[in-house]
């Protein structure tokens, strides 16, 4: 997948902009506050339909405007297609693929897969299980084609079970238990299959980035597998009922990341954590190419921070081998000359764009 053209209107500090990225390496440079991250955010919208900076999505619209638009021309081999997003203050967001209105953003994820590495990516290590579950789910979505339907069913069942817990309706809780078990069994099979594909790719990459570290990765299904999920649901009924939520199940799945048995977040330096996070995200893109023959775009926002140049160079050298389209923001224009030497690249300056107050 290659982004050939991006057009944005009334988005953040860009009143109107047409950007034609290079098919390989793209350096987006400019001083702090000039809009480099805003440009990445617009690209991120094309692949997800949402922002990585705010859940209050009307904030991406310029303060004196009622709507913003993002248009992207995506190339896949000999074919190309258009993605359009219109976000208004008072109406639902409209997503279109080749002028066909999309009911859900999932179609965008399929059309333009991407991986983002930015300061918030540290949540993969220091944040709660939901961030690592999101990592797993991204991979599952692309590799296991029944995953989205199964995951939506599971979330619906959990929601209904929690409502029954709130009402202390034991009969309905038991009925939802049966449905949850069926979904959980299939999800665990799918998660384990994906993990078996993902873990060796990750180990190969992380050994390049952190050769002195013994890093282990383990899939946790969301409950203690020493007991059946049904027995735990029954055993936890009073606790679940007291908190009105289900404490065991696939919605609590996690990745356990450890160094010699110690949680990685408790032993690695900030720079080492960043290398580990890059290994996780790059592994997913590389696996996607290997397993599905789909290229993943990489958005790298402020990647150089907390890394010395040698470690930054390791990441760049690996990225070059992917032949993927890469977007790198930086205040340092000389990075273009020092890094990514094997692939042609493009340079885009954003300092001419003044932020909207």
Q: 223 and 78: one domain?
A: no
**Residue 352 sits in a domain of what CATH number?**
3.40.50.300
Written as tens digits, the pLDDT of the chain (357 aa) is: 899 999 999 888 888 899 999 998 898 888 887 888 999 999 999 988 888 888 877 888 888 888 899 999 998 878 889 999 998 888 888 888 888 888 888 888 888 899 999 889 999 999 999 999 999 999 999 888 889 999 999 999 999 999 999 999 999 999 999 999 999 999 999 999 999 999 999 999 999 999 989 999 999 999 988 899 999 999 999 999 999 999 999 999 999 999 999 999 999 999 999 999 999 999 999 999 998 888 899 999 987 777 788 888 888 888 888 889 999 988 777 676 666 666 667 888 886 554 433
Q: 89 and 168: one domain?
A: no
pLDDT of residue 123: 93
294, 328, 345 — which closes off a domain?
A: 294
Distance separating alpha carbons of residues 13 and 193, to the nearest angstrom: 44
Q: 326 and 287: one domain?
A: no
Taking Cα atoms as reference points, which of 175, 156, 173 lies closest to residue 241? Answer: 173
Q: 43 and 67: one domain?
A: yes
pLDDT of residue 343: 67
Q: 130 and 260: one domain?
A: yes
pLDDT of residue 356: 39
Q: 289 and 304: one domain?
A: no
Taking Cα atoms as reference points, which of 305, 307, 295, 354 lies closest to residue 330? Answer: 305
**Residue 208 sits in a domain of what CATH number?**
1.20.1050.90
250, 267, 294 — which closes off a domain?
A: 294
pLDDT of residue 357: 31
Q: 133 and 254: one domain?
A: yes
255, 273, 294 — which closes off a domain?
A: 294
pLDDT of residue 330: 81
Q: 283 and 312: one domain?
A: no
Return the C-alpha torsion angle 233, 227, 194, 179, nearest 10: -30
Q: What are the phi and psi torsion angles at 303 (to 5°)?
A: -65, -30
Domain count, the chain: 2
Judge contact between 353 and 49, C-beta under 8 A: no
Q: 161 and 282: one domain?
A: yes
pLDDT of residue 1: 81
Q: 243 and 340: one domain?
A: no
Distance separating alpha carbons of residues 267 and 275, to the nearest angstrom: 14
pLDDT of residue 124: 93
Q: 353 and 307: one domain?
A: yes
pLDDT of residue 340: 67
SS3 for the chain is: CEEEEEEEEEECCEEEEEECCCCCEEEEECCCCCCHHHHHHHHHHHHHCCCCCCCCHHHHECCCCCEEEEEEEEEECCEEEEEEEEEECCCCCEEEECCEEECCCHHHHHHCCEEEECHHHHHHHHCCHHHHHHHHHHHHHHHCCCHHHHHHHHHHHHHHHHHHHHCCCHHHHHHHHHHHHHHHHHHHHHHHHHHHHHHHHHHHHHHHHCCCCCEEEEEECCCCCCCCHHHHHHHCHHHHHHHCCCCCCHHHCEEEEEECCEEHHHHCCHHHHHHHHHHHHHHHHHHHHHHHCCCCEEEECCCCCCCCHHHHHHHHHHHHHCCCCEEEEECCCCHHHHCCCCCCEEEEECCCCCCCC
Q: 47 and 66: one domain?
A: yes
Measured on CA atoms in the order 304, 306, 308, 313, is the torsion positive or negative? negative
Instruction: Determine the structural domain holding residue 233 and report its residue range.
Output: 122-294
Six-digit token string for 50: 């949402």
Distance of CA 248 to the CA centre of its chain: 24
């Amino acid at each position: 997948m290659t982004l050939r053209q991006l057009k944005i209107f009334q988005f953040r500090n860009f009143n109107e902009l047409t950007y034609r990225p290079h098919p390989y390496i793209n350096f987006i440079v400019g001083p702090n506050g000039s809009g480099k991250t805003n440009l990445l955010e617009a690209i991120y919208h094309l692949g997800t339909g949402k922002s990585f900076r705010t859940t209050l999505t009307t904030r991406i619209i310029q303060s004196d405007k009622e709507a913003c638009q993002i248009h992207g021309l995506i190339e896949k081999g000999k074919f190309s297609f258009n993605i359009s997003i219109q976000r208004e203050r008072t109406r639902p967001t409209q997503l279109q693929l080749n002028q066909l209105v999309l009911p859900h953003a999932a179609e965008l994820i399929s059309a333009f897969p991407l991986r983002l590495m930015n300061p918030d990516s540290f949540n993969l290590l220091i944040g709660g299980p939901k961030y690592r579950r999101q990592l797993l789910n991204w991979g599952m979505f692309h590799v296991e084609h029944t995953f989205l339907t199964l995951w939506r069913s599971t979330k619906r069942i959990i929601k209904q079970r929690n409502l029954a817990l709130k009402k202390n309706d034991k009969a309905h809780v038991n009925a939802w238990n049966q449905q949850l078990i069926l979904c959980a069994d299939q999800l665990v099979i799918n998660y384990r299959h994906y993990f078996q594909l993902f873990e060796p790719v990750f180990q190969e990459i992380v050994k390049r980035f952190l050769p002195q570290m013994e890093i282990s990765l383990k899939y946790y299904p969301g409950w203690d597998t020493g007991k059946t999920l049904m027995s735990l649901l029954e055993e936890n009924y009073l606790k679940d009922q007291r908190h009105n939520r289900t404490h065991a199940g696939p919605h609590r799945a996690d990745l356990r990341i450890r160094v010699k048995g110690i949680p990685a977040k408790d032993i690695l330096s900030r720079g080492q954590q960043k290398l580990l996070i890059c290994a996780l995200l790059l592994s997913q893109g590389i696996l996607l190419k290997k397993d599905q023959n789909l290229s993943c775009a990489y958005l790298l926002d402020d990647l150089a921070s907390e890394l010395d140049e040698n470690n930054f160079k390791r990441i760049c050298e690996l990225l070059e081998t992917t032949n993927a389209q890469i977007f790198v923001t930086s205040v340092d224009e000389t990075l273009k000359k020092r890094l990514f030497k094997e692939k042609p690249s493009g340079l885009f300056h954003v300092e001419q764009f003044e932020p909207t107050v």
